[in-house]
Structure 1
């Protein structure tokens, strides 16, 4: 690990305004989801109230954060998980089916137990401990780090510790690798020390730049997509 200052957003990298980050909206197809959920009470009613744009409803970060405010109940945690998956998946039926294996490979009760335990840990012990929990003893099959960090991010307003949880996916990892942090950044299966390093880098960089940490995360995500030739 290098101790020198690391510049995660080099010249030419735009850090979005926080309002733009919270407004990051993803289209979704309700019909692709509702038939794959364990029961109707896993679907957040807030998603049905979204205005259609170009024939598609959209969900943004701000709405999922609002849904996460209800994650102190079984129903609220179910809604949080579903909303985070919907936001992170998009409209492709194949991608939705892949995410829905979370529900077909585990009993609803087992998912409930793992989510409750992990979010309790998040509130009491912080983001790194919650990451460890969902990556180990409270692991939910087919809910990998790229998606369970979304759940932690949205639930993290009241998290303990100095670091709020942030999303880590393959595009963010690719941007971190390009930034020359002195670390190896695999594009999946991150161990807990890797996530801890990530949070440390992002929060320190955000502090120096005078922005919110999720603004840096969003900038890295966009840069990572461009590195593989996908539009931001």
Structure 2
């Protein structure tokens, strides 16, 4: 399986466009899901409003990693990562709210602190494994905890592999272009599969001379196009 270069159908964006990838959000809908209002990051209140909703971009959330040295900073980064990854749909926001309804604040704080220590001392794969196993937070699966790992540790993780987001959209694109094995799942990836994913995207980034998260964004864009344009693509 060749992974050193991206297929021509997967178009690399400019980093400025990746950094500016902005997602709309409904502040009031989110605040009602949180343990209390102190969990809401003030950085999101400074986001520009475009049309009906304010929008938070990738650059803003990446910048919040500087606050991860405190429990409050980790809480705020978690919320920002969830908001950025979710959009405004009530059903999706309510599902993310189960994270806080089924775990205590102390439990979440403990898990986030432990995972970030592992990320900074042992790297992205070890941190992913912790999130899947003993440090698992109920109702926060890989599609969202890899967002947290990415934002928290892209600039500050151990090892040469940067943590990257892995979700069903990216996996759909990888399967479509046969960058992964035929039996690659669209959810519930093992630790070995996450390690394989990082290897693929880091090799492609090195070959193209770009940041690995630019490659992730390219695969996500291709997966989004597939879902909108190709009948039956969600079952690829």
TM-score range, shorter-chain basis?
A: over 0.9
Equivalences, count: 228
Question: For 2:85, what is the secondary structure of its paired residue?
Answer: helix
Change (3 A) 1:230 1:109: farther
Give the Cα separation in 2 of the matches to 1:52 and 1:86: 15
For 1:143, which of 140, 151, 160 is the aligned residue?
Answer: 140
Q: Cα RMSD between the aligned structures?
A: 1.4
Give the Cα separation in 2 of the matches to 1:54 and 1:112: 35
Gaps of 5+ in 1: none
Deviations 1:74-120 (A, max 9, x none): 00000011000000000011110011100001011000000000000
Give the Cα separation in 1 of the matches to 2:164 and 2:116: 14
1:104 aligns with 101
2:131 aligns with 134
Tell me, yes or no, if structure 1 residue 186 matches structure 2 residue 185. Answer: yes
1:195 aligns with 194
2:59 aligns with 62
For 1:172, which of 165, 170, 173 is the aligned residue?
Answer: 170
2:228 aligns with 229
- Between 1:49-58 and 1:29-38, the stretch displaced more is 49-58
Is the 8 Å Cα contact of residues 8 and 176 (structure 1) preserved in structure 2? no
Give the Cα separation in 1 of the matches to 2:150 and 2:112: 13
1:74 aligns with 71
Change (3 A) 1:39 1:159: same
Is the 8 Å Cα contact of residues 174 and 180 (structure 2) preserved in structure 1? no
TM score, norm. by length of structure 1: 0.95
Give the Cα separation in 1 of the matches to 2:82 and 2:12: 25
Tell me, yes or no, if structure 1 residue 114 matches structure 2 residue 90. Answer: no
Give the Cα separation in 1 of the matches to 2:120 and 2:164: 15
Is the 8 Å Cα contact of residues 150 and 162 (structure 2) preserved in structure 1? yes
Change (3 A) 1:8 1:139: farther
TM score, norm. by length of structure 2: 0.93
Q: Displacement of 1:35 after TM fit? A: 1.2
Give the Cα separation in 2 of the matches to 1:54 and 1:146: 28
Is the 8 Å Cα contact of residues 4 and 207 (structure 2) preserved in structure 1? no
1:23 aligns with 20
Q: Displacement of 1:21 after TM fit? A: 0.5
Is the 8 Å Cα contact of residues 4 and 203 (structure 2) preserved in structure 1? no
Change (3 A) 1:230 1:120: farther
Give the Cα separation in 2 of the matches to 1:48 and 1:217: 27
Give the Cα separation in 2 of the matches to 1:136 and 1:142: 13
